[in-house]
Amino acid sequence: MLEPETERPVVVRTRALTRKFGAFTAVDALDLDVHEGEIFGFLGANGAGKTTTIKILCGLLLPTSGTGTVAGFDVLTRSEDIKRSIGYMSQRFSLYDDLSVRENLEFYAGLYGIGSRRLARRLDELVPRLQLAEHLDKLTASIPMGWKQRVALAAATVHDPAIVFLDEPTGGVDPVSRRAFWGLIDELARSGKTVFVTTHYMDEAEYCHRISVMNAGRIIALGSPADLKAQAGLETIQELFLALVRRDERPGAGPQGGTSR
Ligand SMILES: Nc1ncnc2c1ncn2[C@@H]1O[C@H](COP(=O)(O)OP(=O)(O)OP(=O)(O)O)[C@@H](O)[C@H]1O
Ligand SMILES: [Mg+2]
């Protein structure tokens, strides 16, 4: 049997990671350990600081203070190494509508310096897994949103990275496509990849091995969905999320006010 995810190596680590924009603190002293093969759900209301954190971890934005490593590389100094080790599907993921699906994947492969032979081998794996065959030569603009999401996942993982950051990958997608997409996330994790994913859909949070709930730049809860629900005596992540955020926003709730591990 595989060891629990939390006993596997840490592949994303932050300590007191902080990002300010002027006087405003978007990410406030974040401490996180994410393990290899884990599906780590990053929850939080609009503006909580999720995308800002992901951008720092993807080497796209520098922290103002604190430290972080991704795949063993320091976010302050090794962003190019980080970019080679990770896949990133951004919140407004960028596919070229006027290219075919295949051309989009060729474009991303080019960005990662993947030659045509390696790309052909990779497509032999990705296309059946993501069931993209019938869409491969269609114009990206012409395929439904749920399929675009899959193409975006294929583009983000065309270089077969060990860690994948997915920022609201299922936003605006129908429930059937969302469920299927989570099947793909699960397969990624089972193959040893680490998935760091944000979502506003609380049903999806239940599929994560561990979740963190972020509010106003701080982590206010961290643990497995089952443990967090049991600790709070609540039935669903939806109820838990609302209770945590309300408690954190109560007057007088200090930085330790809502923290639970
Ligand atoms: N470049 C920037 N300059 C100034 N403020 C910023 C900048 N980027 C983000 N912010 C602010 O930081 C806060 C956190 O934003 P962030 O995008 O990380 O939130 P989020 O948790 O991803 O929210 P959402 O769920 O809406 O995607 C917000 O108040 C946002 O307005
Ligand atoms: Mg965001």
Q: Is the CB of residue 17 less than 8 Å from the CB of residue 56?
A: yes
What pLDDT, on a 0 to 100 scale, did the predictor assign at position 90? 86
Kindly give the distance from the C-alpha atom of residue 57 to the centroid of ligand 2, in angstroms, as a whole number.
14
User: Which amino acid would we find at residue 211?
Assistant: I
In the beta sheet, which residues pair with residue 14? 32, 68
Residue appearing with tokens 């203070």: 65
| pLDDT, mean of each 10-residue run, the chain (261 residues) | 73 98 97 97 95 96 98 96 93 86 95 92 93 94 91 94 95 90 94 96 95 96 95 93 86 48 35
The residues, any chain, with a CB within 8 Å of residue 187's CB and separated by 6 or more, are 129
Kindly give the distance from the C-alpha atom of residue 216 to the centroid of ligand 1, in angstroms, as a whole number.
10
User: Cβ(52) to ligand 1 under 6 A?
Assistant: yes
What pLDDT, on a 0 to 100 scale, did the predictor assign at position 259? 39
User: Cβ(48) to ligand 1 under 6 A?
Assistant: yes
What pLDDT, on a 0 to 100 scale, did the predictor assign at position 247? 86
Q: Is the CB of residue 17 less than 8 Å from the CB of residue 26?
A: no
User: Which amino acid would we find at residue 41?
Assistant: G
- The structural domains of the chain, ordered by start, are 5-93+162-249 (3.40.50.300)
Kindly give the distance from the C-alpha atom of residue 132 to the centroid of ligand 2, in angstroms, as a whole number.
27
Q: Report which protein residue has its CA nearest ligand 1's atom 4.
A: 21
What pLDDT, on a 0 to 100 scale, did the predictor assign at position 249? 80
